[in-house]
Structure 1
């Protein structure tokens, strides 16, 4: 069986990106509305201003999260997603494989 390499379209999943951005926007809008007093009984004008500000914040957060996620996905190479990473990621790559040739032995460092 041949494994199908993921394409950039498979990685992006537009519905999932929009869903994540929508969830973040709803959360930011709800927090903004609560912090500005939309749920208090202090008056209609205060609640109206709070909901207006919540809608503005939700729109800003939606656009920012959507753009950031899309830009982060552009950095990912689809071929690297399917490639297994068995070794340490932060250590430099060597030609011999395990990297033990570069490390001095503990007995040699004591002398």
Structure 2
């Protein structure tokens, strides 16, 4: 069975993006309501003010999450999505090995004398 990599179309499903942004907005709104004491005994004015502030915070977080995730997905190169990554991502690329016909440099010879620091002791 072959392992299929996700395509760019799979990464950009709009319903998933909207769902993630809605979840973050809901979380921010509930945290705002709890922190402003909406679920405690408050006057009607304080409760309505808490709801308004929670709606504003939820709206701002919805837009911010949607915008940030969409911009991060645009940074993905479509050609890189289908490539399999089999090495650590943060390590630098390996240097190219010399071709069979190239002459090795003076320090690259297998029988070259090692300095006292290169003995590994």
What TM-score, normalized to structure 2?
0.72
- CA distance 1:83–1:45, shift in 2 (3 Å): same
Does structure 1 conserve the Cα–Cα contact (< 8 Å) formed by 2:5 and 2:81? no
Structure number with bigger Rg:
2
Match of 1:42 in 2: 42
Instruction: Please provide the CA RMSD for this pair.
Output: 2.6
Deviations 1:27-69 (A, max 9, x none): 0000001111111112111111001000000000000000000
Cα 1:4/1:34, change in 2 over 3 Å: closer
Match of 1:109 among 98, 106, 118: 118
Counterpart of 2:94? 93
Shift of 1:5: 7.6
Q: Which SS does the other structure have where 2:48 is aligned?
A: helix
Indicate whether 1:83 and 2:78 are aligned: no
Paired position in structure 2 for 1:68: 68
- Distance in 2 between residues matched to 1:88 and 1:27, nearest whole Å: 34
Instruction: Answer 1 or 2: which has greater helix percent.
Output: 1
Shift of 1:78: 2.1
Aligned residues: 101
CA contact (8 A) 1:25 1:62 kept: yes
CA distance in 2, matches of 1:62, 1:44: 27
Structure 2 counterpart SS, 1:32: helix
Offset, 1:93: 3.0
Partner Cα distance (2:39, 2:88) in 1: 51
